[in-house]
Structure 1
């Protein structure tokens, strides 16, 4: 075997190893993928945003909590992936409101049917999230197809959690600096007694 053939086989071997390592990284550890759609505005842009997906620590719903943004397989289409925010964990009770999915000048212009659709059996009901499932919602409720429509989502469908996003337009050579996509749940130092006192003051006449 000539030295040129050996060099070619060696280069091919190195290429295959790099490819296998990249595939392993992309499939099981970390991913950088484009997103699209209106459902997560303003957190994630409708076009041009790319998200970092942490698969190692959060695959199948591990270490996920209310407020986290996740990527998962769509329950009604296994080949489609969705980006939503966790609004309910197993055992939580959530309200399945039916937000309108069309534009109007003011809320007063919205007919009652826009909020409570008779075609959706979940609309207007309180639902306990079953074990092994989560309740997913889009940040832009008026343009999101989510658990209000297809119900609780099995945690096994969760691919990973989204800690960062970066804008990378079609004319940009490099993506922008990553921005944090954190939980929308914020802790409060107020006690329950203080909270209830504030609520009472709102309704004091």
Structure 2
């Protein structure tokens, strides 16, 4: 009799597993995931304590499913220099905007169609659009929406564009 219950339990587990795994994979692929933020490029917004502590953020994939981002959003994207790596930066300018760069070979750049300009909050400690130029929206992975860890840093991330990084001319103008 125990053998019969064991077989029934195993069948229920296997069928549940084959339902749960695709649902979980789909959720992580389409809706949200979490990521540990490493490095100093987004200080003080992320990792304000330095190297010894890393923030863990919620990456909302659903909000960027149509490649819609706003100036000031903190986003995760595939590195234009290393497709194996994801980077986290702030959106500074959108297609059609003219941006005054900080250290790029061109002093002013008009952001091409289907692209955005991203920068780390910690100028001089960030590998960003000032190094590699405008980024294709196709590299967009997710929007960072909450700090989940450590508990004392739990908060919704604000979409803020630093006053000194406002585009010279918005495409909205």
Which TM-score band (shorter chain)?
A: 0.7 to 0.9
Note the alpha carbon deviations across 1:122-172, whole angstroms, 9 max, x for none: 33510000000000000001100000111110001111111111323xxxx
The yes-or-no answer on 1:87 pairing with 2:92 is yes
* Structure 2: 5+ residue stretches without partners: 164-173
Q: Which one of the candidate residues 52, 63, 71 is aligned to 2:76?
A: 71
**Alignment of structure 1 residues 34-73 onto 2, 5 Å:** 34-45=36-47, 46=50, 47-59=53-65, 61-62=67-68, 64-73=69-78
Q: Tell me, what secondary structure is at the counterpart of 1:159?
A: strand
> May I ask how many residue pairs the two structures share in their alignment?
157
| Cα distance in 2 for residues equivalent to 1:149 and 1:186 | 19
Structure 2 CA distance, aligned partners of 1:186 and 1:74? Answer: 23
- Which residue is 1:164 aligned to? 146
Distance 1:78 1:60 in 2: 21
Matched residue, 1:145? 127
Q: For the residues of structure 1 that align with 2:54 and 2:162, how far apart are their CA atoms? A: 28
- Alignment gaps of 5+ in structure 1: 99-121, 169-174, 188-205
Contact in 2 for aligned 1:49/1:166 (Cα 8 Å): yes
Please say if residues 146 and 155 of structure 2, whose CA atoms lie closer than 8 Å, have aligned partners that are also in contact: yes
**Could you tell me which residue of structure 1 aligns to residue 17 of structure 2?**
15
In structure 2, the residue matched to 1:105 is none
C-alpha distance 177-127 of structure 1, shift in aligned 2 (>3 A) = closer
Residue equivalent to 2:169: none
**2: CA distance, partners of 1:13 / 1:76:** 42
Structure (1 or 2) with the larger CA radius of gyration: 1
- Residue 132 of structure 1 is matched in structure 2 by 114
Cα distance per residue 1:164-193 (max 9 Å; x no partner): 11323xxxxxx4563121111389xxxxxx
TM-score by length of 2: 0.83
Contact 1:67 1:183 in 2 (8 A): yes
2:159 match: 183
**Aligned position for 1:5:** 7
